Amino acid sequence: MLEANKPVLVDFAADRLPRCRSQYAGGDAWSIGVEYRVDGGPVQRQPVTRLDENRRQAKALAALNLPLGARDLELWFVAGDRTGCVEYDSRFGANYRYTIEQPALVSFRADWSEELTGQVRKNRALTVRYDIARLPQCRETYNGMPAWSIDVFYRLDGGPVRSEPLTDPSGRATPTNIDLSPTTGRVEIWFRVHGQRSGCTAYDSDNGRNYVFLTA
User: What is the tally of structural domains in the chain?
Assistant: 2
Which of 101, 132, 157 corresponds to the end of one domain? 101
Indicate whether 129 and 91 sit together in one domain: no
In contact, 108 and 129? CB cutoff 8 Å:
yes
Give the separation between CA 179 and CA 192, rounded to whole angstroms. Answer: 20
Indicate whether 168 and 96 sit together in one domain: no
In contact, 34 and 12? CB cutoff 8 Å:
yes
Indicate whether 93 and 123 sit together in one domain: no
Give the separation between CA 10 and CA 36, rounded to whole angstroms. Answer: 11
Q: How far is CA 133 from the centre of its chain?
A: 23
Which of 39, 69, 101 corresponds to the end of one domain? 101
Indicate whether 75 and 127 sit together in one domain: no
Tell me the CATH number at 142. 2.60.40
What is the separation, in whole angstroms, between the first and last Cα of the chain?
A: 18
Indicate whether 112 and 69 sit together in one domain: no
Q: What is the pLDDT tens value at each position of the chain, 216 positions in all?
A: 899 999 999 999 999 999 999 999 999 999 999 999 999 999 999 999 999 999 999 999 999 999 999 999 999 999 999 999 999 999 999 999 999 999 999 999 999 999 999 999 999 999 999 999 999 999 999 999 999 999 999 999 999 999 999 999 999 999 999 999 999 999 999 999 999 999 999 999 999 999 999 999
Indicate whether 109 and 210 sit together in one domain: yes
- Give residue 176's pLDDT: 96
Indicate whether 81 and 143 sit together in one domain: no
- Give residue 138's pLDDT: 97
- Give residue 11's pLDDT: 98
This prediction has a pTM of 0.78
DSSP, residue by residue, 22-40 = -EETTEE-EEEEEEEEETT
Which of 75, 101, 127 corresponds to the end of one domain? 101
Max CA distance (Å), the chain:
67
Indicate whether 56 and 131 sit together in one domain: no
The β-bridge partners of 46 are 34
Indicate whether 118 and 179 sit together in one domain: yes
Indicate whether 127 and 58 sit together in one domain: no
Please give the C-alpha separations between residue 12 and each of 31, 48, 75, 83, 113, in angstroms, as whole numbers: 12, 6, 12, 23, 45
- According to the 3-state scheme, what is the secondary structure of 59-111? ECCEEECCCCCCCEEEEEEEEEECCCCEEEECCCCCCEEEEEECCEEEEECCC
Give the separation between CA 63 and CA 166, rounded to whole angstroms. Answer: 21
**Sequence-separated (6 or more) residues with CB below 8 Å from residue 59:** 11, 12, 13, 14, 48, 49
Indicate whether 67 and 168 sit together in one domain: no
Task: Give residue 93's domain range.
Answer: 2-101
> What are the backbone dihedrals phi and psi of residue 101, each rounded to the nearest 5 degrees, phi first?
-80, 155
- Give residue 91's pLDDT: 96
Indicate whether 116 and 75 sit together in one domain: no
